[in-house]
Amino acid sequence: MGRWSEEQVISAAPDPSSLAAARKLARPGPWSETGSNDSLVWGKCQGSGKTPYQVSVDVAAPAYRCSCPSRKFPCKHALALLLMWAREEMADGGAETAAFAAEWASQRADRALTKERRQSEQPADPAAQAKRLADRLSVMDAGIADFARWLTDLVRTGLAAAHNQPYSWWDGVAGRLVDAQLPGLAEQVRSMGSDVHARADWADHLLFRTGRWWAISKAWGKREELTTEELADLRVTLGWPTPSADVQGTEALPGPWLVLGAHRGDDGRLQQQRTWLRGPDGTVVVVLDFAAQGEALATPQLAGAVLDVALARYPGTAPRRAMFIRSITPRGLADNLGEGCSIAAVLETEAAAVALSPWRERHPALFAGVRVCPGTPGSLQDGAGHSLPLLDAPLDSLLALTGGHPVDVFGELEDGRVRPLSVVVNGTVLTP
């Protein structure tokens, strides 16, 4: 496992306060018995107590352990240790792994082996699998029927009445969808409870979502008429994903893969990381990583990095979700992200993708020669005068990086807005 860059350590921080505290500890003074090997970094940090904290990091997983009482993962001690390791400022305690780090690594390996054995020792029972599938479909059918009735009542009553409903009203509908094993649809409804009060265009947004939800309910009733790719997209929208074990044994797409950009999100219950990649033949995929609150997400890949790794793709329409099936070997950094398009061309490509998969929430886009324009919330504008508003964008950072000059920008199109994930400035790929 290669040494992390300082940017990777910064990306792993759970919040700015933990990173700020880690920077103060990232010096040799409070540390002892530090060391590293191919997969582990370890050390002891002297805190306010008598006994120093034992810190261990598996940089391959990644995973973190510290004997401090913090509930953050990684905590400030783990971040400080990684910062020193990334800067090569950490004293090396020798080739022998510290006992506390070796014990932790051994326990993790034992748990993984036990889980693998249990899974391999449980033979598949076709009859039981068929019954579980039939039971799930029956529950989902009933849930979709109930949801369709609710949508009918919503439209008959009027969207203005829905705007006055409290969040608990939306949450109750979402709860019934969860019980019906439709968690993806439930999350959309739950989010609407906030959107109708937070968005100025709430009426248009609710009308659009209501139409999509009705189309989803009708598509589920005709699922046997859908293609394999269409059904896969619909399943993801409803919250019924394909198990990763079913994907690992499929095609292996070799690299190198260029990291176009990545985004981390946190809805308060689940953390998500999306990493967009482009292969040597132009194929674009997205790798999704999830982690519960308090757990660590996978190490983020730097925008512009070229990775030597094989990928397997999930079923669905392009751009498809993918997963790494072999270890990652960095091959350097690219000085560009490829040939971008005008805003009009990007929207035309998005329209074609929506025609194939109307349930998709966001689409990747590489813009060529666009300017970052100030305002609220700011926008991207191309040479033809077309513009798109920005979404969740660090406007000050973007303006400082680009200086108002035309640059290439990679981002995600979502609800008619673009979320910038990377920019190319003077032959360097940067993350705003």
Bridge partner list, 371? 381
Question: What was the pLDDT predicted at 134?
Answer: 92
Q: Dihedral angle at the C-alpha atoms of 400, 401, 403, 409, nearest 10 degrees?
A: -130
User: DSSP per residue over 361-415, as a string?
Assistant: --EEEEEEEEEEE-SSS-EEE-TTS-EEEBSS--HHHHHHHHTT--EEEEEEEET
What does each of the 432 residues of the chain score in pLDDT, given as a tens digit? 578 888 888 888 888 889 999 999 999 899 999 998 888 999 999 988 888 999 999 887 788 899 998 878 889 999 999 999 999 888 775 568 888 998 888 888 887 777 766 656 566 678 888 888 899 999 999 999 999 999 999 999 999 999 989 989 999 999 999 999 999 999 999 999 999 998 888 999 999 999 999 999 999 999 999 999 999 999 999 999 888 878 877 788 888 999 999 998 876 667 888 999 999 999 999 999 887 766 677 777 889 999 999 999 999 998 999 999 888 888 889 999 999 999 999 999 999 998 888 888 899 999 999 999 998 889 999 999 999 999 988 899 999 999 989 999 999 999 889 999 999 999 999 988
Q: Is the dihedral of CA 113, 315, 254, 420 positive or negative?
A: negative
Place of tokens 């997983």: 61
Q: Under a CB-based contact definition with an 8 Å cutoff, are residues 422 and 410 in contact?
A: yes
Query: Nearest CA to 9 among 93, 72, 87, 102?
Result: 87
Question: What was the pLDDT predicted at 244?
Answer: 82
Range of the domain at 307: 244-333
Pair 234, 147 in one domain: yes
Question: What was the pLDDT predicted at 11?
Answer: 83
Question: What was the pLDDT predicted at 124?
Answer: 62
Where among 238, 272, 300 does a domain terminate?
A: 238
- The answer to whether position 1 is within a domain reads no
Pair 14, 80 in one domain: yes
Query: Nearest CA to 210 among 162, 172, 267, 139?
Result: 162
Pair 174, 233 in one domain: yes
- The answer to whether position 338 is within a domain reads no
Task: Report d(CA 153, CA 220) in Å as an integer.
Answer: 20
Chain CA centroid to CA 377, Å? 23
Pair 272, 213 in one domain: no
Pair 250, 230 in one domain: no
SS3 131: helix
Pair 208, 253 in one domain: no
Task: Report d(CA 220, CA 310) in Å as an integer.
Answer: 34
What does the buried/exposed string (b/e) look like for 76-96 if buried means 16 or more CB atoms within 10 Å of the residue's CB?
bbbbbbbbbbbeeebeebeee
Pair 211, 274 in one domain: no
Question: What was the pLDDT predicted at 421?
Answer: 95
Pair 17, 106 in one domain: yes
| pTM of structure | 0.74
- Burial class from Cβ neighbours inside 10 Å (0-12, 13-18, 19+) for residue 331 reads middle
Residue 368 backbone phi and psi in degrees, to 5: -110, 130
- The answer to whether position 197 is within a domain reads yes
Where among 238, 254, 271 does a domain terminate?
A: 238
Question: What was the pLDDT predicted at 14?
Answer: 82
Q: Under a CB-based contact definition with an 8 Å cutoff, are residues 346 and 367 in contact?
A: yes
* Size (the chain), residues: 432
Task: Report d(CA 321, CA 260) in Å as an integer.
Answer: 14
Q: What CATH number is given to the structural domain containing 352?
A: 2.40.50
Number of domains in the chain: 4
Instruction: Give the H/E segment covering residue 103.
Output: helix 99-121
Written as six digits, the tokens of 350 are: 């998005």
Place of tokens 């003077």: 426
Question: What was the pLDDT predicted at 392?
Answer: 87
Written as six digits, the tokens of 340 are: 């971008």
Task: Report d(CA 297, CA 295) in Å as an integer.
Answer: 7
Pair 81, 164 in one domain: no
Where among 270, 302, 333 does a domain terminate?
A: 333
The one-letter amino acid code at 256 reads P
Question: What was the pLDDT predicted at 285?
Answer: 95
SS3 144: helix
Pair 251, 196 in one domain: no
- The answer to whether position 102 is within a domain reads yes
Pair 352, 414 in one domain: yes
Question: What number of CA atoms fall less than 13 Å from residue 191's CA on the CB side?
Answer: 15
- Burial class from Cβ neighbours inside 10 Å (0-12, 13-18, 19+) for residue 296 reads buried
Question: What was the pLDDT predicted at 42?
Answer: 92
Q: What number of other Cβ atoms are within 10 A of residue 322's Cβ?
A: 23
Q: Under a CB-based contact definition with an 8 Å cutoff, are residues 364 and 419 in contact?
A: no
Pair 113, 200 in one domain: no
- The answer to whether position 111 is within a domain reads yes
